Structures are given as structure tokens and as C-alpha cells.
Structure 1
């Protein structure tokens, strides 16, 4: 991923580290959990032969301190932080390193070096709307190792780069830098917002368009350009959420109605009909077969890559 010096708790404690490094086109993804206390890219290492890149970290648990360029940032779960590979940096966490890291070459990002330096070692909090979408999307990207063998993996690369570019531009409050990226990622941001609110029974197109400060007509045109019907997309992902939760909680006291309501369905009869039409079994039969460990028809499905625009 990047050459660094790593400090573990002590010589008597065993080194603990687990993770995976994968490629998605121009984006390199590293998901790691380790008992390492300090990770440092020294001035010497920062002059190595590695292609100049940014590293975007997503904190998964606990809190970390990031130091680069005379700045310090404390990052907590769902916070994002950017490092520049061409300058020394230090990452410190007294409980061990737990992050998803995303490496993107400077050339692919297409931002001035000065702009990159200005956002390094800053806490990019999910309270910012673009950071919120980026954190949600990147967490799913880092948590889906199956995606890296999916036939669409390279197609996810450019939208991911554009989203990170928009993240940087909006934190710099630079419309000129971010305009194209915000437009390029609009479809992705619309769908990520919808995904995050699938449990809201009142979720509707007008609400989604208003959240993104666009007209309904423009939103539908953006989705149509990506061959997406919003209503069908929401219904499909709600049903898939119910399907997975029914299997996961088979044998528990959680009722089918409670699961349906959790995913935004208010009419149990309508939910049952839609579920059967989609998966070929009633919700009750699906759960019963999952409880018995029976192979469920249609249960083996190809994972869908993250949506992109």
C-alpha cells in the first residue's frame, strides 16, 4: 500500500494484524485491523519511488491522531482523513489501527498539489453532507471483498475518484474544482442517500431531490441516463434487506412484521406479495427454510457492485 515504519505495543506482545489489499482500477483499497500503535511514513520513505498519491483513511472504531504538515487531526468512527504520500506523516492509536485506506494517484485525482496539501491532516466529518455520503460509500467499498472479483470492479474506480475529488473540493469551498465532480457523482450520491434512508416509510423522490438541491425532473433525467428507475430501485433494495434479515434472524423472536417495518414497508399484505414475486417464496417460508438450513431457491445471487453514476 505504502512503505511505513510500524510500532507495536512491546516485544513481548504478539503482533496482530489482519487485512486485505485490493485494486479497483486506479483505486487501491486496504482494509486493516492491527494492534500497531504507531504508523509513520518518515521523510526518507516519503522520497521513495512510489507514485505520488493521496491516502484517504476511514476510521472504523476508536479514535486516532493523524499528524502531517504541522497539523493534527483527531478522527473518530466514520471520520475521514487525507494523507499525502510525498510528505512525512504519523498515525497514532493507543488501541490499535482500525481503518479502511484508499490510495489514489495524484494524476488520477487531477487536483493541484497545493489543494491536496491544504486538506491533509484535517478531520473530514460526516456532519458535512459530501463527507457523509463518501464515508457511507467507502465503508461499503472497504467491507465488500467480493466486489474485487466482480466483473464490474474497474467500472467502480472512476466514480470513486470523482467522489473523493468532490470531497476535497467541497472542503476547500472551491466550486471551480468541484463542479464537474459533483455532477459526475450526482447519481451515486442520490442512490447512497436513498440507501441510507430505506427504513423511512415516507422516503420519496421529492425529498431526495430537495436534499440534493435539484429539481425532480433533473433527478429523474440523471437516473434515467444510468437506466435506473428510482421506485423500482428502492423497492428492490428494501426487499433484499428484508430477505437478508429474515435469514439472519431465523429462529429469533423478531417478527416478520417488525422486519418489514424496519425496511420501510407499512402494508404487510403488500410486502408479502412483493416478496413472493421477487424471491419465489413467502417471507415465512423463506425464514423457515433458512432456519432448517435448506438451500433457498434464488438464495445464491451475484453480489451487486456499489451503484455509480
Structure 2
């Protein structure tokens, strides 16, 4: 899963080596070993980091993964395993990711940075690939894992690094939205082409801001910040709608236009300008994508809700200092 936007994978494996290869390819290099289970016969006994594991003893895993732009979403159903990332692989030069797991079945024990926790079904937990970690699953488990590039976290990155190995309930605050978006992406059918539906891209974009909100405790006790997070997530998920506006957003949330304006003003946001910048950012990203080179600038603009592309070049020039053709030219290999 190391190539372009929209690549998907669905693999069932009875060999831990194959499972390790797939997981490492989707995210970063990992060490995976099956945990020995009482009463399990056969296989070679191995000792890994103080844990007794058993090679070839009834191991079974299903690994389903989808890459959407720079995000990776996987759903993993597996027999008991030990997953680790040690100093040797951390120093291998692979990209740094924040990984967020939605645990759906079984128990897991996670250790990173001197902290340890137990995660149960219905909980979200974050960990990051820039430091060693160990995850032990003593029973069969089902989990959805999201991998976010460190650069996408912006100013929140280091704060999020301090929130690893601290599970949170998925049923509180904005977290149900995270759960819904994660499971929707993870359950998409395999076989997508190189240009996934705009709705898929919107889900992925909304996830990043919701994950930041979940693990930086931005939701207030009164729920005001939670409402703002929901409004912005809704807008990100509907950027392809040319009719997205202050009025339509207020109507979708059952509140007044003035309420939406007040909530966004508290964050220094004017909705019309914010939507415009979000759309231009995604248009620029698509223009840089080699897989979309055959699509016209107008088609890409329409994909993000701009149906009149007459002034697209001028808007991109004003925002980024370059025209659509210059963006594409700079993205081509020399």
C-alpha cells in the first residue's frame, strides 16, 4: 500500500510473516509475533521481549486497508499477537505518523514513552511511530487504525505526542463522529481506482480535525466547542456541494445563522472565506497528484464545489502565487 491515492487491500493470512509485511507496508516497519495461547498445540516456541510466542500455531489475520491521499485506514481482525516498534526500526528513516486505533473487540495493552494502558472495545487510543512502542493483544481482536502524517497535525503535533497510550471512550464529545468516519472508511469495498469519490476524500479530511479535537480536549463542558467542531467537520465533508453556505450549514444543524457566525467568530473564522480556502487547498492538492493529470482544472474544481472555473486561476494565484498550470508543472518529475 505504498502507492497513490485510493489504493486498497484486503488480505486473509495464516502466516504471521505475511501479516507483518502487509502491516509494515501500510504504515511503518513493525515486528509482529503470534502470542502463545494455553492449549494451543504445534508451532515453534519463540521468546520476544519477555513474551512467549508461538510461530505457526493457529495464527489467522484479516488485513483490510485503504489509502486516501496521505491517510491510511486499516481494519485488522487477528488472533492474539504482540506488535512492537523498537529503536532499530524507529531509526530506519520511515515517515513519522500518529496512529489512532478504534478498538472494537478484545483487549489490548499498549506501552509507549513510559506510559502503559489497557484498551477495551469502544475506546480510542493514540500512539506514534516516532518513538518505540509495544502492543500486546492476549485475545482475538478487531480494531480500526488510522495513520496520519505528522506534518498534517500542524501546531498540535507535539501536544498529541503527549497524549499517547491514554484511551478515551468513543461515545463522548465529538468522538462518535470519529468512530463513524473511521468505520465508514475502513469498510469501503476494495478495488477503488486511483481517483476515489469526493465523499471519500471529504471523510478523510474531516477525520484529521476531529482526531485533533478528540485528543487535545478542545470540547468544553458546555459543548460549545463540540458544536463548532461538528460544524467544521460537516463543512469539510460537504465541500463538493456548490450550495454549501452559512444558511445551509445552520439549517443542517438546526440552529440559527447568527449562532453559527458567533461560534465561528470565536475561532476567528468567517465561513465563506474559510470554505473558499479549504476548496482551493484541495484543488491545489489534486492538481499536484499525477494520478489526476488527465483531469482538467475545471473538472477538479467542480469536484470541490466550484462549478464556475472562470476565475479559478486568479483565485489560486491570489492564494498561492501560482496558476493551475504552474502547480501541475512543478509537480511533474524533472
Distance (whole Å) between structure 1 residues aligned to residue 109 and residue 192 of structure 2? 30
Aligned length: 204
Pick the aligned partner of 1:184 from 209, 221, 232: 232
Once the two structures are TM-superposed, the CA of residue 55 in structure 1 deviates from its matched residue by 0.7
User: Does 2:26 correspond to 1:3?
Assistant: no
Matched with 1:216 is 256
Once the two structures are TM-superposed, the CA of residue 158 in structure 1 deviates from its matched residue by 1.8
Which string of whole-angstrom CA distances, capped at 9 and with x for unpartnered residues, describes residues 267-299 of structure 1?
A: xxxxxxxxxxxxxxxxxxxxxxxxxxxxxxxxx
Is the alpha carbon distance of 1:206 and 1:147 closer, same or farther for their aligned partners in structure 2, counting shifts above 3 Å? farther
User: Does 2:76 correspond to 1:48?
Assistant: no
Once the two structures are TM-superposed, the CA of residue 12 in structure 1 deviates from its matched residue by 4.7
Matched with 2:102 is 58
Matched with 1:165 is 212
Q: State whether residues 32 and 84 of structure 2, in contact with CA within 8 Å, keep that contact through their aligned partners in structure 1.
A: yes
- What TM-score, normalized by structure 1, do the two folds share? 0.56
Once the two structures are TM-superposed, the CA of residue 39 in structure 1 deviates from its matched residue by 0.5
User: Does 2:192 correspond to 1:144?
Assistant: no
Matched with 2:143 is 99
Distance (whole Å) between structure 2 residues aligned to residue 172 and residue 130 of structure 1? 8
Bigger helix share: 1
Bigger strand share: 2
Classify the secondary structure of the residue corresponding to 1:134: helix
Cα RMSD after superposing both structures: 3.7
Classify the secondary structure of the residue corresponding to 2:126: strand
Which string of whole-angstrom CA distances, capped at 9 and with x for unpartnered residues, describes residues 7-56 of structure 1?
A: 11323513311112211112111111111421111121122221111011
Once the two structures are TM-superposed, the CA of residue 218 in structure 1 deviates from its matched residue by 5.4
- What TM-score, normalized by structure 2, do the two folds share? 0.52
Q: State whether residues 15 and 35 of structure 1, in contact with CA within 8 Å, keep that contact through their aligned partners in structure 2.
A: yes
Distance (whole Å) between structure 2 residues aligned to residue 79 and residue 125 of structure 1? 5
Deviates more, 1:128-137 or 1:139-148: 139-148
Q: State whether residues 173 and 226 of structure 2, in contact with CA within 8 Å, keep that contact through their aligned partners in structure 1.
A: no
